[in-house]
Amino acid sequence: MKKVKHVLMLSSLFFTVQSTAQVLKTADSLMMEGLVEEAKMAYKEEYQSDTLNQTCLYNLACVMAISGQSDSAFQYLYRLMKINPTEAPLADADLANLRSKKEWQVYEDKLVNTIQTKYDHPIADEVYARKLWELNARDQRYYREIGLIERKKDPSDTSANQLWNMKRQINSENLQQLEQLVRKKGWPMKTMVGSTAANAAFLVVQHSDLKTQKKYLPTIKKLCEEREAEWQSYALMYDRIQVSENKPQRYGSQVNYNSKTQQYELFPLEDDKKVDAWRKEAGMIPLADYLAHWDIQWPEKK
């Protein structure tokens, strides 16, 4: 009897995990489609069944911030801080609305102090890191909104172009700020500012002009070799430069939205037989799995 009971308990646990994953997946899909209130209800329902679910806590904070419920957003962020303090909220575009609130500085200070104390001061240059986290949040703004508009496939809707124009202005301002910081402090390394802040510098350059990308690519490669940057960052920028120069990409990271077919398409590859091996070396998921996010089938049908 004990043996049977043990099996039943395992089955019940598996079912719970599966159900939790499905609920969160559904809520994430609702967010991607701009259904904020529906997503909020789904996250809340799951949170009520598991108040220690970190993913749910984090997403609830984000959806509350997006919908203008800043008090609730901060409550969830503080609860998350007690369970698992990380710098992720400080760099998240979904929480950008909270930065204009007076409570933000208090929250940021407490979170940074908690991280520094708990993990034996992993952030050597805290001032530099804080500026980079903010640049990261600014860099990632409006992508979900643009994707939502593009997926609606309405030729008469020009709001995506307006958002892209805003993005270009933000990107230009971010680059100016980053280059001022780099001139003063040098390129940010993981051991200097942590992985999240270091990646922010890459994102700003990745979304800049071709000349700037080519200027910093050797620096990023050198830091990857020294384990101070991520090879995936190098791969993404390498591909971006190749595509900008009308050359085939190596890692398959770059896609383009075709307004005529209203579908995303993969830019040409350097070698479709070696692409997954190159991606694996850079710590990237298989190309087919990556392209599935863009509804692109790989390998392509002949």
Give the pLDDT confidence score for residue 187 in this predicted structure: 95
Give the pLDDT confidence score for residue 201 in this predicted structure: 96
Average pLDDT over residues 160-188: 94
Environment class of residue 122 by beta-carbon count within 10 Å: exposed (0-12), middle (13-18) or buried (19+)? middle
Tokens of 85: 């303090």
Confidence of residue 278 (pLDDT cuts 50, 70, 90): very high
Q: Report long-range pairs for 65-69 (Cβ below 8 Å, ≥24 apart).
A: 65/94, 65/95, 65/96, 65/97, 65/98, 66/36, 66/94, 66/97, 67/36, 67/37, 67/40, 68/97
Separation in Å, CA 158 to CA 138, 146, 162, 257: 22, 11, 7, 15
State the Cα–Cα distance between residues 197 and 218, nearest whole angstrom. Answer: 19
The three-state secondary structure class of 35 is coil
Q: What is the mean pLDDT of the chain?
A: 88
Give the pLDDT confidence score for residue 260 in this predicted structure: 81
Asked if 122 and 182 count as a contact pair (C-beta separation under 8 A), the reply is: no
pLDDT tens, residue by residue, 279-301: 999 999 999 999 998 889 988 76
Asked if 52 and 33 count as a contact pair (C-beta separation under 8 A), the reply is: no
The type of residue at 21 is A
Between 130-144, 250-264, 280-294, the lowest mean confidence (pLDDT) is in 250-264
Is the confidence at residue 264, as pLDDT, over 60?
yes
Give the pLDDT confidence score for residue 47 in this predicted structure: 83
Average pLDDT over residues 38-47: 84
Give the pLDDT confidence score for residue 155 in this predicted structure: 66
